[in-house]
Amino acid sequence: MHEYDVALKRILTRPGSALLFALTGCAELRWLNVELPRVNNLRVDLLGAMPDGGLIHFEFQSRNEKGFALRMAEYAFAIARLHGRFPRQTVIYVGERPLRMKNGIATMDLTFRFHLVDIRELEGEPLPASRNLSDNILA
């Protein structure tokens, strides 16, 4: 594939490329550095295997964070790369301030969503009735 990469890069980066115009509607682009360095070790809050073989990822968030949806997408792709399947994702927001974060990303070519729950809006009835002391305390 490398031999095709070189040829296609040369075609697309030459001024006046008809292929570039057909793909983008632009006659010319400002080309950016292609190196995407990564020096981070992603760690999710909880990742579980469901009885049906699916994965569930829980993330706990205590503040509104710009770019949080992008981080959730990074987690989803990293989990899929490692385990061979995408997880269901649920974020439990426990912050004092009103929840303002978005539950996904939508661009022309990508739609990514996760379940975002404000803990104050959860149905509280089952928690005090639970036989689990931790549920009672949370209630």
Predicted confidence (pLDDT) per residue in 67-113, tens digit: 999 999 999 999 999 999 999 999 999 999 999 999 999 999 999 99
Beta 104-106 vs 115-118: how paired, if at all? unpaired
Question: For 11-64, how does the pLDDT look when each residue is reduced to its tens digit (9 = 90+)?
Answer: 888 888 888 899 889 888 888 777 777 777 889 999 999 999 999 999 999 999
Kindly report the number of other CB atoms within 10 A of residue 98's CB atom: 9
Question: What's at 28, amino acid-wise?
Answer: E
pTM of the full structure: 0.79
Sign (positive/negative) of CA torsion 113, 68, 34, 10? positive
The residue-averaged pLDDT of 124-137 equals: 72
In terms of Cβ atoms closer than 10 Å to its own Cβ (0-12, 13-18, 19+), residue 15 is exposed
Using an 8 Å Cβ cutoff, are 119 and 93 in contact? Answer: yes
Distance CA 3, CA 78 (A): 29
Q: Cα-Cα-Cα-Cα dihedral of 60, 61, 65, 70, to 10°?
A: 10
Q: Cα-Cα-Cα-Cα dihedral of 48, 77, 39, 1, to 10°?
A: 140
Sign (positive/negative) of CA torsion 131, 133, 134, 137? positive
Question: What's at 51, amino acid-wise?
Answer: P
